[in-house]
Amino acid sequence: MAAENEQQRKSSAVSDMGAWAMNVISSVGIIMANKQLMSSSGFSFSFATTLTGFHFALTALVGFVSNATGLSASKHVPLWELIWFSIVANVSIAAMNFSLMLNSVGFYQISKLSMIPVVCVMEWILHSKRYSREVKVSVVVVVVGVGICTVTDVKVNAKGFICACVAIFSSSLQQILIGSLQKKYSIGSFELLSKTAPIQALSLLVAGPFVDYLLSGKFILNYNMSSGCFVFILLSCALAVFCNISQYLCIGRFSAVSFQVIGHMKTVCILTLGWLLFDSAMTFKNVSGMFVAIVGMVIYSWAMELEKRSNLAAKALNSVKHSLTEEEFQLLKEGVETTESKDVELGGYTKA
């Protein structure tokens, strides 16, 4: 029995690492592809919201094919919950884009960093979730480290501040909803994504061109599409499928806070790849910030492992307690205490 539990624990750990790796690799890949797609030195495709609609359209198509071929099962989730989630998710996407347009890069990065404490507070309010001191310390270290290596100029204006607040709140709520919907309806990450992706795709493809026009002053129908641009759009969409699946998978297996920590690991990877591939400047400030962030992530992993072991020990104790009568449990407890006192006395006698 113990060997079987150990095997399950190792298998779960491998699956966890696979989910983390898929999210980091696909997210970093999609950012690199989008950088080439949207930058002035690339294809100048400045229609981020519509592109996100393309991402969800391909994700919805993959989900439809998977359900039709029997590779995944479809479970019932009330339509109003799916629509509510899609509204929150789409507001998050639009608000993030407007925040980036209206604020300085430095303030935009600070707003993204503030999502971890906001998620913690929201989970405490909505689900009465509490965090250990070690987890809190590690989160602070990660935020400080990423702040050091990403925050530069910080300029604030009223419209940008409002957009940033809406983006932080909606993004945090979206990530919490992913986990809570999976638990509430006992639905897998891919099954939930298959249900939300079509609604998000349809709404973003309808509203996206107008949002992009407000952001860039350009309309997508006037864009001169090249074959190279089309290939990069397909690449971006393919990577987005893996990115979306792994996001739902990570939040379902871990938590919204853990997903935020993974996000900052991606920031470190992007800065490193930018330096290696695009000759981006790498200063002592960047390197020291990344080092602090990585230390924080290591501490976070250790703190979460401690928390997991503590929870398992508590569940095992409750299981034993419920399997025994109250009288048997008290006798067992008294026996342990008597043995401990005898061991102390014996140790004292031998020492003398």
Q: Which has the closest alpha carbon to 164: 117, 122, 110?
A: 110
The count of residues in the chain is: 352
* Rg of the chain taking only CA atoms, in angstroms: 24
Tell me the C-alpha distance between 118 and 109, whole Å: 15
Between 239 and 311, residue with greater pLDDT:
239
Please name the residues in contact with 19: beta carbons below 8 A apart, sequence gap of 6 or more: 246, 249, 250, 253
State yes or no: pLDDT of 116 exceeds 60. Answer: yes
Please name the residues in contact with 192: beta carbons below 8 A apart, sequence gap of 6 or more: 77, 178, 181, 182, 185, 248
Q: Can you give the pLDDT at residue 203? A: 93
How many C-beta atoms surround the C-beta of residue 31 within 10 A? 18
Q: Which two tokens mark 273?
A: 């790849």
Q: Which has the closest alpha carbon to 82: 210, 202, 212, 240?
A: 202
Q: Which has the closest alpha carbon to 54: 78, 74, 75, 30?
A: 30
Q: Which two tokens mark 314?
A: 């508590």
Please name the residues in contact with 255: beta carbons below 8 A apart, sequence gap of 6 or more: 123, 129, 179
Q: Can you give the pLDDT at residue 236? A: 92
Task: Check if the beta carbon of residue 45 is closer than 8 Å to that of residue 236.
Answer: no
- Evaluate the CA torsion angle 304, 306, 308, 314 in order and state its sign: negative
First to last CA, the chain: 43
Helix (H, G, I), strand (E, B) or coil at 65: helix
Q: Can you give the pLDDT at residue 82? A: 92
Q: Can you give the pLDDT at residue 342? A: 44
Tell me the C-alpha distance between 333 and 77, whole Å: 46
- pLDDT averaged over the chain? 77
pLDDT tens track for 54-108:
999 999 999 888 888 877 777 788 999 999 999 999 998 888 888 877 776 667 7
Helix (H, G, I), strand (E, B) or coil at 103: coil
| Locus of tokens 């739902």 | 248
Tell me the C-alpha distance between 174 and 88, whole Å: 6
State yes or no: pLDDT of 206 exceeds 90. Answer: yes
Buried b (16+ CB within 10 A) or exposed e, 254-282: bbbbbbbbbbbbbbbbbbbbbeeeeeeee
Q: Can you give the pLDDT at residue 13? A: 55
Question: What average pLDDT does this structure show over 320-337?
Answer: 54
Between 126 and 78, residue with greater pLDDT:
78
Task: Check if the beta carbon of residue 281 is closer than 8 Å to that of residue 98.
Answer: no
Q: Which has the closest alpha carbon to 150: 42, 57, 56, 289?
A: 289
pLDDT tens track for 265-310:
666 776 676 667 666 666 777 778 777 777 877 777 777 677 767 7
Buried b (16+ CB within 10 A) or exposed e, 163-189: bbebbbbbbbbbbbbbbbbbeeeebeb
State yes or no: pLDDT of 23 exceeds 80. Answer: no
Q: Can you give the pLDDT at residue 320? A: 54
Q: Can you give the pLDDT at residue 61? A: 93
